[in-house]
Structure 1
């Protein structure tokens, strides 16, 4: 993606935290059979301790074309998107001074590149599903567990899905959060986004002098 220097986010811990918080992402791969780019939307688990930048895992249906055209070590791009929002010139106090303002769009995104592997064994699949379940059920008053469903039902479903694993080779962050605006404009934008884009609002406040 095009990256103006002022919007680049290069801190590794910040990028890792971002993809953990916004783990539903778009995986883009090349389908050599049909000679086109494919996009799959998946919830990922991130393990920062594996490899230089970490490892991502997810599961897909075996009916998904991704499963049939995957090759060991295929290069893929995964896009993690956080808060994004239209920014009105009316939010800028500086507009009253000179009128030299136009609308724009703020957004927070991290791109991950890596190599894709497919894992078909049930042990790995069960472990992944267990971690996904615990992660997403942790906010529930009565968390659902896999053992709540009949074992034969779970086993039947396992036959239809596979684990994909991505060894991350690079992370690229772009947080366009009004960095080019005067101090008073940043504060005003942060207030305007407090309810509709809270993560972005917080990020602007943290990076306001």
Structure 2
């Protein structure tokens, strides 16, 4: 990952938090079948291994599962809040006009050697953990136990697990930190003026750019 110093992030707790809140990762491997990529949700287990461990699952029919058995490292890319930044929001536009558009984003890249798992008990724990991680905030959370046991057993036979002990992890939070403070203020205010959907990005720019009062 290209890492200008202003945007680099290496604190494990910050990187793990982005994965926890944005769990859909792009799993990429390169083996005898060439480059393969799949988007799958992962759970982060931060206390397992030097940098944590990722766990997820693939459909057993997906050829990516068999490919992972023969690769060295794979890459998983996670993306956080992101969006287009118009130069119209910069105070510098009115001052001298020497501004161009950009794209702000947060990303975490993870590398490690994958392990493909067929064990039914392991898979059952994983799908239970994945389900709980997403259902726990609901007023009436659904649990795997709510479905018939024989149905769940059949579904488990249709998947394989993927476990990736993290060997290397990098983060990049490109949040206008390279702009002067008046430009950062303009970006935060401009995003918020365009609607609530921009709030996650605006809030992260305000935090990372140390924008006062925002």
TM-score for the superposition, normalised by structure 2: 0.92
Structure 1 runs of 4+ aligned residues shifted over 4 Å read: none
Cα root mean square deviation, aligned: 1.4
Match of 1:76 among 56, 74, 78: 74
- 1:145, CA displacement in angstroms? 1.0
Report the counterpart of residue 59 of structure 1 in structure 2.
57
- 1:115, CA displacement in angstroms? 1.1
SS class of match (1:2)? coil
CA distance in 2, matches of 1:159, 1:79: 27
- 1:162, CA displacement in angstroms? 1.2
1:133-163 alpha-carbon deviations (Å, 9 max, x no partner): 1111112221111111111111111111111
User: In 1, are the aligned partners of 2:30 and 2:71 still within 8 Å (CA)?
Assistant: no
State how many pairs are aligned: 207
User: In 2, are the aligned partners of 1:59 and 1:161 still within 8 Å (CA)?
Assistant: yes
Report the counterpart of residue 37 of structure 1 in structure 2.
35
Query: Structure 1 stretch 2-11 or stretch 70-79: which is displaced more?
Result: 70-79
User: In 2, are the aligned partners of 1:26 and 1:41 still within 8 Å (CA)?
Assistant: yes
SS class of match (1:193)? helix
TM-score for the superposition, normalised by structure 1: 0.94
CA distance in 2, matches of 1:92, 1:196: 20
1:138 has 2:136 as partner: yes
User: In 2, are the aligned partners of 1:72 and 1:116 still within 8 Å (CA)?
Assistant: no
Report the counterpart of residue 203 of structure 1 in structure 2.
204
- 1:74, CA displacement in angstroms? 2.7
User: In 2, are the aligned partners of 1:61 and 1:162 still within 8 Å (CA)?
Assistant: yes
Report the counterpart of residue 179 of structure 2 in structure 1.
181
- 1:72, CA displacement in angstroms? 6.2
Gaps in structure 2 of 5+ consecutive residues: none
